[in-house]
Chain A
Amino acid sequence: MYITIDTEDRRPIYQQVVDEIKALIAKGELREGTTLPPVRQLAADLGVNLNTIATAYRELQGDGLITVKHGSGAVVTSRRTTNENNQDGLRKSLRAALTQLVLAGLPRAEIMGIVTDELRSLMKGGAK
């Protein structure tokens, strides 16, 4: 199980770490009770500051997906974020992503295909 980080991505590295771990949790590849690597290990592997990974873990903890225990590492505790009822916010994020696809000139059918593929990839791990 691994995450991929791209230094040329516009998102900051901590955000990429958050998104990648969230995707693995959504796909069911990271199940409840799975231990994540300590901040030090992930930061060393990526060659980044400890705070970068600590910020990512804090954000995941804030979303209720993991619990960080000092000394024993981070553990996946849930496959549901605590802000799942914030549908307006999520709709805005989805709209922003769809806007990018429309502005890229993709036809409706292709956009639907991309959305379906992504959704299938996320749901194949048994996400409800």
Chain B
Amino acid sequence: MADLPVIPILLALFALRLFSLRRFWRLPLRQGEEWFFTAPVAPGFYRGAGLHLLRRYRLWLFAPLVTDAVVVVTMISFGRAAYVFYEQFVSSVLNALFCNFLLIGFASRAKAFAATEEAEPISAVSISLQTRRLGDYSKRIVELIIGGLTVVALAMLADHFTGLVGGVPLRTDQTGASLRGVAFDVVWLLYIQLGLLLLKGVFVHWRMKVPTSRTEDYLRWRREWLAYHVGIFDGVRVLCAVKLLALALQETFEPVWNNRVMTPVAGSVWVLIILVWVGYCIRLRRRLAVVEREIEPVRLAKVFPPAPVAAGTFLAGGLFYYNPDNPVLVVRSPLGIAFNLAHKRGYFYLAYLAGLILLMGWMVTR
């Protein structure tokens, strides 16, 4: 990652993340002053306890950014600047999870201040019959580009270090340190790609109830919402594949790559790629925003029937749940939510997270 101008890119990334917080900043009041996100609240809520709750929520939104800034500064001061982009990937995912859980948590707290009149109970729900397989949301050309770039890059690296494809292998004393450094980058890039594929699967398979009123509108919004997230995930996967190829080119043509002319050229190309990437994200976000302004999906959340407490065995005081016949990973428990230990895919996610922690450990100690 030495070819990247770290500080400007980091500043741009932080600015982008700060900009993307706008959405979470506005979401509690999206439906007006009678709501805190999807929780209906009593009139005058924001002149009393609601104001305090809203301020605390908005303050907490910045917690991941502040923590991340400290981590990044520490990494740079300890000479780990080359790894901050991997850290940025992990922290972006954690940031997104944190903001979503924060919003849900504060909306749940706001329910204590709900208006007293009982809403009419909702019992009907619609279910889409469209299949949601990973293949249904993957473009062949994108997968071919990612696969092709990855295979070419790995073949070039294998050839460079072992002479596998007929080249002359470097001598062991030449390759030792370089191979370890490259292996680290390659493992990270492949791991990020795998993680994004898993994340894409989570979004595609995410259970989808549809309200019985304005059903078509909701389905349209849902399609756009999924297209936005899948677009972002696929975009980052392409970036990882491009970076892998750049790494292979850098290693294979090291004398040319590291001369005085090439270093600024490579840096400029990367800045250009990142600018294109930011433009692509903004374009996707605008497309979704147009549909969200028209449909206002947050208003449809109130027309879902509440999920019942799952039937089955709860363990560890309701934190875990075991029922192989229930296909849901996170179910409603008497205490809140519980993880279904019989959900096989859940173990993949856990294994991935464990691997991520190990990689972070490797990054810190190497």
A residues apposed to B, CB below 8 Å: 1-8, 21, 24, 30, 35-38, 40-47, 49-51, 73
Contacts and interface: CB of A to CB of B under 8 A. Distances in A.
Residue of A1, A38, A47, A49 ringed by the most chain B CB atoms within 10 A: A47
B208 interface: yes
Nearest to A48: B326
B123 A51 contact: no
Contacts of A38: 131
Residue of A35, A40, A44, A50 ringed by the most chain B CB atoms within 10 A: A44
Given A45-B207, A47-B207, A47-B307, A2 B327 contact: no
Contacts of A21: 129
Given A44-B328, A47-B207, A49-B325, A37 B308 contact: no
Nearest to B136: A35
B124 A35 contact: no
B31 interface: no
Nearest to B329: A44
B130 A1 contact: yes
15 contacts: A1-B129, A3-B126, A4-B126, A4-B127, A4-B212, A6-B124, A6-B125, A36-B131, A38-B131, A41-B205, A43-B327, A46-B125, A47-B310, A47-B328, A50-B327
B325 A50 contact: yes
Contacts of A5: 124-127
B interface, over-half SS: loop
Nearest to A39: B327
A30 B131 CA distance: 13
Contacts of B325: 49-51
A45 B208 contact: yes
A1 B216 CA distance: 9
Given A2-B215, A38-B131, A47-B207, A7 B327 contact: no
Contact of B326 (A2, A7, A49): A49
A20 B209 CA distance: 16
Interface of B: 123-132, 205, 207-210, 212, 215, 219, 305, 307-308, 310-311, 325-328, 331
Contact of A42 (B127, B307, B308, B328): B127
Contacts of A43: 326-327
Nearest to A29: B129
Contacts of A50: 325-327
Contact of A45 (B209, B212, B219, B311): B209
Given A44-B207, A45-B209, A47-B207, A3 B129 contact: yes
A38 B129 CA distance: 10
A28 to B, nearest CB: 14
Contacts of B210: 2
Contacts of B327: 40-41, 43-44, 50
Contacts of B124: 4-8
B127 A24 contact: no
Nearest to A43: B327
Nearest to B125: A5
A45 to B, nearest CB: 5
A7 B328 contact: no
B303 to A, nearest CB: 12
Contacts of A41: 131-132, 205, 327
Contacts of B132: 37, 41
A37 B131 contact: yes
Given A36-B129, A41-B131, A50-B327, A6 B215 contact: no
Contacts of A47: 207, 307-308, 310, 328, 331
A50 B328 CA distance: 10
Contact of B127 (A7, A46, A49): A46
Given A2-B210, A2-B219, A30-B129, 4 more contacts: A7-B124, A36-B129, A46-B209, A47-B310
Nearest to B323: A49
B155 to A, nearest CB: 33
A6 B212 CA distance: 10
Contacts of A8: 123-124
A5 to B, nearest CB: 6
B306 to A, nearest CB: 10
A51 B327 CA distance: 11
Given A41-B205, A45-B208, A7 B305 contact: yes
Contacts of A42: 127
A5 B126 CA distance: 6
